[in-house]
Structure 1
């Protein structure tokens, strides 16, 4: 590659990178300014970061919303990884014609938009509220259970299991391990990168989930971060500086999870098995 061609390649990539990262830079800079400066399009850092943060703490129950989001996201991630990996492992290792039919039906369910399932889901949880209140409307369980696993995650684990060395399964059986013991002691440690990629996808999706929690979480004590931010923006005269500092705080957990597990995420998405 010639020097001129390389220069224009790097120039193009730099421009695209700047365009991609600009909204995040604007969000960080604007969180340090007053609302009037944000609406005026100020692009320089201000001195109102702590003032915006103080108003956010006084106006909202930030700690409770962060805690609610953390509980829902962590629980959903752990349960999703366990259930989806067991299902994906079972579909691939113990293949049969009937299992393939069930798996294809699961894949077809991905074509159904979630908006089409909201009404029957809400009615189901409304009835559960009358029988088992801890699993009904306005509980964390009502958010976790419908999103506990997805057809995509099961598909992801099944595709990753295709590259799992079958010789290890036979070696485990010869050594006298049970099938569940093989899964726990051989499959799970070997597929660490796949679990890392699935954990990032599930955690980010659960943390940013807005539509279903908006419907089933009906009291201030159960609000998550997306609902809290939405509430801040629904006032007659929103304080954009305060809203943006809330968005920055709400973005930090997902950003940390991604950057801390970035290498494992890339390896898991490319199908690496170690």
Structure 2
């Protein structure tokens, strides 16, 4: 009986000590979730209600959606075309980026060479350079190759990033080297090992990299604004920026556009959140 009472007392004491932690987590969750809630409510309210701080759902969702459709056509392309542009650019860049960066990370970690680490250190230095600093040189390169206002101009600068290469290299340390040696004994080529052994085992890392790359490509604004001068090649971020220009801004329509911008990345993250967590922690299967 005495031991049972002590256990109950200790459990109660632990729960009381955790109360401040619970309160802190509730506050943090509220701060994180409230902007999403406000975005949803603002997309259903009139511009005046949004500007006055109304934070509950309204009845202007259909009007705001119609206004978004009208604004997209006024910008030079229908909303469906703009959404398709964003998805097409982001999907192609994601596939190419995770393939190129995984191949580089695989080589950096699993093939040994004296100069490899020096080359990787130089590569990591590129992470210290802000993207704005390379904007003009990249633009001039795309102009010299006559790639402006094309899918290639949007995609090429993002198909290989130091962060993705570093991520794949770090997670490749968990890849069992014995499998490579056994595969070589069985006669598999190096590319066959990569495609048939490495990629299936590192699928969690691929999922995490895909989520990060897709979100970065989808949310890109400055680079597409610089290279995509054709309105038919416009992305969702550019459309939302256009909605906020002018002397008067319809905040209901603007938040409806923000909602359409946010939905694809939110859906992809919720679908792949388990694999994303495993890939970030370096788990392999």
- Alignment partners' CA distance in 2, 1:3 and 1:117: 53
Q: Which residue of 2 aligns with 1:133?
A: none
Q: Which of 32, 41, 62 is matched with 2:53 structurally?
A: 41
SS in structure 1 at match of 2:59: coil
Shift of 1:104: 1.2
Shift of 1:45: 0.8
SS in structure 2 at match of 1:33: coil
- Alignment partners' CA distance in 2, 1:24 and 1:212: 26
Structure 2: tracts of 5 or more residues without a match: 1-12, 73-77
SS in structure 2 at match of 1:243: helix
Shift of 1:6: 2.5
User: How far does the alpha carbon of each residue in 1:111-152 deviate from its partner, in whole angstroms, 9 at most, with x for none?
Assistant: 1111111111111111111xxxxxx11111101001112011
Structure 1 stretches of 4+ moved >4 Å? none
- Does 1:247 pair with 2:258? yes
- Alignment partners' CA distance in 2, 1:172 and 1:199: 27
- Does 1:223 pair with 2:234? yes
Shift of 1:3: 3.1
SS in structure 2 at match of 1:236: coil
Q: Which residue of 2 aligns with 1:132?
A: none
Give the superposed CA RMSD: 1.0
Q: Which of 111, 119, 136 is matched with 1:119 structurally?
A: 136
Q: Which of 251, 259, 279 is matched with 1:268 structurally?
A: 279
- Does 1:79 pair with 2:93? no
SS in structure 1 at match of 2:128: coil
- Does 1:97 pair with 2:114? yes
Q: Which residue of 2 aligns with 1:106?
A: 123
5 Å-filtered alignment, 1:58-207, equals: 58-60=70-72, 61-129=78-146, 136-207=147-218
Task: Tell me if structure 1 keeps the 8 A contact 2:71–2:243.
Answer: no
- Does 1:29 pair with 2:46? no
Structure 1: tracts of 5 or more residues without a match: 130-135
- Alignment partners' CA distance in 2, 1:260 and 1:51: 30
TM-score (norm 1): 0.96
SS in structure 2 at match of 1:110: helix
SS in structure 1 at match of 2:268: helix
User: How far does the alpha carbon of each residue in 1:224-256 deviate from its partner, in whole angstroms, 9 at most, with x for none?
Assistant: 010000000012101100010111111010001
Q: Which of 230, 236, 246 is matched with 1:235 structurally?
A: 246
Q: Which residue of 2 aligns with 1:7?
A: 19
Q: Which of 31, 34, 40 is matched with 1:19 structurally?
A: 31
- Which has the greater radius of gyration? 2
Greater mean alpha carbon deviation, residues 71-80 or residues 109-118: 109-118
TM-score (norm 2): 0.92
- Alignment partners' CA distance in 2, 1:157 and 1:3: 40
